[in-house]
């Protein structure tokens, strides 16, 4: 399978192309079973939701080695990266939800205005219902199960559709989930674009999609046919800004780690660097030093460096490199047979080239020289809003300025990627990089309907509300309301 249309157009990393025929109604029985779970209130109680969350933890803990092996098969993912990104992060998400789900489910009370007295208000979270989660290939467990945690905590039934571009991980999820979950609570459907197309044609109570901006538009268009709410976790070009006063050695190590994690196939990886001219050359040398230290100059042979997921993505990244312009200051080699691209830094590429327009999603880092932090902010504002923004500086004033003069899904100061691991921080995009947020309570809220309830006693019965409306009634209404 390739992730390209017949004309060679890249389709993004959310829903890959395939030629499977899926008859209409193929998944009606699956959806009906999940709907029956909602009608029966299988996850209505806090105890039931906690049991489902514990099942997630048990599945991860019991099958840790199988998960690591599946990630190695699909992505040549280093063991530590698998533990950190696809196992530990999800376990932390699940543990956090277990600790707080009772209070989240309780909702909140409000003080009613005079016109509603005597009485009081309450906000009651209730499940959206049956949720479709479409997850990508680059972090198959983290980006499939993290939204699942929020959905289960909120009491939803879920159909999970993993990407077949990570076939070992998809197959493992399809095999394990029936062992741990009631089919009225959670089911898995495997397949490619035709499967996804059929699923998107169905009416769901919420769709949660992680993938490319292009496919996000397709998902939103399909959801609009049924007025289905969506959470879209998309990508984009996340900049790293390096100010003249930054600790360049630390900035370089952190940028290189974030950029080449999972061979650059991370939606919040630093996509390009904006560096002040006075420290550009010094930063380049620190980037070179960091890359050499991480991989000992042998990325194709390193067990600590992943591969590009398939030949289609390999060729796409190669095209971006070949048309970038600028100067390749280090890296650039490619192993076509192994689908490995050496960590590459390109200095001052052509700003109109595809590499500065498309999300790279690979181990290639453009470095762009800028005159000032003010110009860096202008550069970011001139482009679609990114999913993340990274700033390296020792100045609080600079931090405040960049925060006030840019817009992005999230910001991480003096590091990269780590903000995604804090369950108390909502994670999501803005504009082209997505809509809606999740993690922690934000995930629970995104996958709940917050129902407003006003409680009134039967007596007293205020006659002023009813006709006839006299002048006296009007005076009282004006005074009170």
Confidence at residue 20, expressed as pLDDT on a 0 to 100 scale: 53
Say what angle helices 46-62 and 89-106 make with each other, to 10 degrees. Answer: 180
More confident residue, 247 or 304: 247
pLDDT over 70 at 475, yes or no: yes
What gap in Å lies between CA 433 and CA 49, rounded to an integer? 31
Confidence at residue 295, expressed as pLDDT on a 0 to 100 scale: 83
Confidence at residue 480, expressed as pLDDT on a 0 to 100 scale: 78
Confidence at residue 10, expressed as pLDDT on a 0 to 100 scale: 30
CB 129 within 8 A of CB 421: no
267 belongs to the catalytic site = yes
Q: What percent of the chain has pLDDT over 70?
A: 95
pLDDT over 50 at 412, yes or no: yes
From 81, 93, 164, 233, the catalytic residue: 233
More confident residue, 400 or 116: 400
More confident residue, 469 or 296: 469
Q: What percent of the chain has pLDDT over 90?
A: 85
Chain centre distance of CA 38: 26
Rounded to whole angstroms, what are the CA distances from 247 to 205, 253, 282, 283? Answer: 48, 10, 11, 9
Helix, strand or coil for residue 124? strand
What gap in Å lies between CA 153 and CA 443, rounded to an integer? 9
- pLDDT (tens digit per residue) in 61-73: 999 999 999 999 9
- pLDDT (tens digit per residue) in 436-472: 999 999 999 999 999 999 999 999 988 888 899 898 8
What gap in Å lies between CA 477 and CA 481, rounded to an integer? 6
Residue 47: pLDDT band (50, 70, 90) is: very high
Residue 297: pLDDT band (50, 70, 90) is: low
412 belongs to the catalytic site = no
From 94, 267, 377, 412, the catalytic residue: 267
**Which of 41-55, 219-233, 330-344, 378-392 shows the lowest per-residue confidence on average (mean pLDDT)?**
330-344
Helix, strand or coil for residue 368? strand
Beta strands in 358-433, from DSSP E residues, in sequence order:
364-370, 388-392, 410-413, 427-428
Mean pLDDT for the stretch of residues 311-328: 97
Confidence at residue 303, expressed as pLDDT on a 0 to 100 scale: 85
What gap in Å lies between CA 182 and CA 189, rounded to an integer? 15
CB 214 within 8 A of CB 255: no
pTM of the model: 0.92
Mean pLDDT for the stretch of residues 33-44: 97
Length of the chain: 481
Rounded to whole angstroms, what are the CA distances from 71 to 15, 80, 165, 171, 307? Answer: 19, 11, 12, 12, 11
CA atoms within 13 A on the CB side of 209: 32
- pLDDT (tens digit per residue) in 206-231: 999 999 999 999 999 999 999 999 99
CA angle (344, 416, 399) in 5-degree steps: 120
CB 220 within 8 A of CB 367: no
What gap in Å lies between CA 76 and CA 68, rounded to an integer? 10
- In terms of Cβ atoms closer than 10 Å to its own Cβ (0-12, 13-18, 19+), residue 69 is middle
- pLDDT (tens digit per residue) in 77-115: 999 999 999 999 999 999 999 999 999 999 999 988 877
Confidence at residue 158, expressed as pLDDT on a 0 to 100 scale: 98
Mean pLDDT for the stretch of residues 312-321: 96
- In this structure, the number of other CB atoms found within 10 A of the CB of residue 460 comes to 8
Q: Could you tell me the domains of the chain? A: 28-234+434-451 (3.40.605.10), 239-428 (3.40.309.10)
Mean pLDDT for the stretch of residues 185-190: 97
What gap in Å lies between CA 317 and CA 447, rounded to an integer? 35
Confidence at residue 244, expressed as pLDDT on a 0 to 100 scale: 98
* Peptide linkage before 365 cis (omega within 30 of 0): no
Provide the mean pLDDT of the chain. Answer: 93
pLDDT over 80 at 42, yes or no: yes
Mean pLDDT for the stretch of residues 423-442: 97
């Amino acid at each position: 399978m390739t992730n390209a249309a017949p004309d060679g157009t890249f389709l993004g990393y959310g829903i890959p192309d395939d030629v499977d025929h899926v008859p209409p109604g193929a998944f009606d029985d699956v959806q009906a079973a999940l709907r029956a779970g909602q009608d029966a209130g299988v996850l209505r109680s806090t105890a039931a939701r906690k049991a489902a969350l514990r099942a997630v933890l048990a599945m991860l803990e019991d099958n840790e080695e199988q998960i690591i092996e599946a990630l190695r098969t699909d992505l040549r993912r280093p063991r530590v990266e698998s533990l950190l990104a696809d196992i530990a992060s999800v376990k932390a998400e699940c543990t956090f939800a277990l600790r707080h789900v009772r209070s989240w489910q309780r909702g909140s009370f409000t003080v009613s205005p005079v016109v509603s007295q005597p009485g009081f208000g309450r906000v009651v979270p209730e499940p959206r219902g049956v949720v479709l989660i479409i997850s990508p290939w680059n972090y198959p467990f983290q980006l499939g199960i993290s939204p699942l945690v929020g959905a289960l905590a909120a009491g939803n039934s879920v159909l999970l559709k993993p990407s077949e571009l990570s076939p070992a991980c998809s197959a493992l999820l399809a095999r394990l989930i029936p062992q741990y979950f009631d089919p009225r609570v959670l089911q898995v459907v495997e397949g490619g674009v035709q499967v996804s197309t059929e699923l998107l044609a169905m009416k769901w109570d919420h769709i949660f999609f992680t993938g490319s901006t292009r496919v996000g538009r397709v998902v939103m268009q399909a959801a609009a046919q049924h007025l289905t709410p969506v959470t879209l976790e998309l990508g984009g070009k996340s900049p790293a800004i390096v100010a003249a006063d930054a600790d360049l050695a630390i900035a370089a190590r952190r940028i290189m780690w974030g950029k080449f994690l999972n061979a650059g196939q991370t939606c919040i990886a630093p996509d390009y660097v904006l560096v002040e001219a006075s420290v550009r050359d010094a930063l380049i040398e620190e980037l070179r030093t960091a890359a050499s230290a991480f991989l000992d100059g042998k990325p194709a042979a390193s067990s600590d460096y992943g591969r590009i997921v398939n030949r289609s993505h390999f060729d796409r990244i190669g095209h971006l490199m070949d048309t970038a312009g600028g100067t390749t200051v280090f890296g650039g080699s490619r192993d076509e047979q192994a689908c490995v691209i050496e960590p590459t830094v390109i200095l001052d590429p052509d700003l109109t080239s595809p590499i500065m327009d498309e999300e790279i999603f690979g181990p290639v880092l453009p470095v762009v020289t800028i005159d000032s932090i003010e110009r860096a902010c202008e550069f970011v504002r001139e482009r679609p809003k990114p999913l993340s923004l990274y700033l390296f500086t020792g100045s609080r004033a600079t931090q405040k300025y960049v925060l006030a003069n840019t817009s992005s899904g999230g910001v991480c100061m003096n590091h990269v990627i780590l903000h995604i691991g804090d369950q108390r921080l909502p994670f999501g995009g803005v504009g082209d990089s997505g809509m809606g947020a999740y993690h922690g309570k934000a995930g629970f809220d995104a996958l709940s309907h917050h129902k407003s309830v006003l409680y009134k006693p039967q007596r007293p019965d205020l006659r002023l509300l009813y006709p006839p409306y006299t002048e006296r009634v009007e005076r009282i209404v004006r005074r009170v309301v």
